[in-house]
Structure 1
Amino acid sequence: METQEICIRTARLTDADAIAEITHQYAENGIMLKRAPENIIENIRNFFVAEVGGRVVGCCAISFFTLHLAEIRTLAVCERFKRMGVGSMLVEKAETILREEGVADAFVLTLAPRFFETLGYRSVSKEMFPQKIWRDCTNCPKLMSCDEIAMIKQLRQGG
């Protein structure tokens, strides 16, 4: 495969189907919850995509919880483009936007803690994020047996 440039950009409505397709593969494998296409469309301005040769090959989203705390979520990369730095580039883009918004801390719930450790995240208790549990986790089929690891990264001082 010849090397093509990876472009990270804010998602557009026309990317919703590609995001749904990529995240569907992760949901089928039990790695993330399934997201309805209308949910992706409703939240499209919170998504970033990785594009190679005009094709969306990865995505992630941000979700704000307080003025100082946000989640990086829905990180997914097409199998063919894994281990090429796409996931790291998506997380870095999300962190840049969060810093611009004045967010002090970013958190993730993940099944890939080693990946996030390489990006400066550290494991913490899920109980640190009651807002997340109230808003998103109460309808999750894994609520009582959640296997995700909570991790946090300080983006700026004084949050």
Structure 2
Amino acid sequence: MTSTETSQHHAQLRAWAKGNYGLEAATELLIRGFNGRFADPGNPWIHPTTSGHWIDFDTIPAQIGALSGGEQRFLQITSALNDGDTTVNLGRALAGLDRHHVHLILAGIAHAAGTHEHQQIRFRPDRTVTFARPGAIYRWDQPASSPAETPGRGTAVKAIS
């Protein structure tokens, strides 16, 4: 597929998922994870329709046996965010993912929880009430690591001479 066709395909998948936060998050994870190859037509869980494609998330876990462990874990979590019957042991699944894909999963969980739409009540000094939307707890476009991050214990490397 050309980049234009890929963009159109992704836009159509996003439109198909729109309105269900879990489905939106799972779809976005397929599009953003592993360079989007799991959202491509030709995957056994991507089904064509007259108006585009749809994703059968419930069938993914049964069809990932030939993939790497990290790919399997990512797809299991992705499938679990959908409203279907898939369950996943998050402790095991997250432990086997690289930093980039953990970042995507965190953004997906925040989206599935609807944090991008949450409202907070704010009280003004004059005792009137307002509502604010602070935005998602963790955003898709949030950097995977902050430049202000400082190394934690055990991250220093000492050169051996």
* Fold match by TM threshold 0.5: no
The structure whose residues are more often strand, as a share, is 1
The structure whose residues are more often helix, as a share, is 2
| TM-score (norm: length of structure 1) | 0.36
| TM-score (norm: length of structure 2) | 0.36
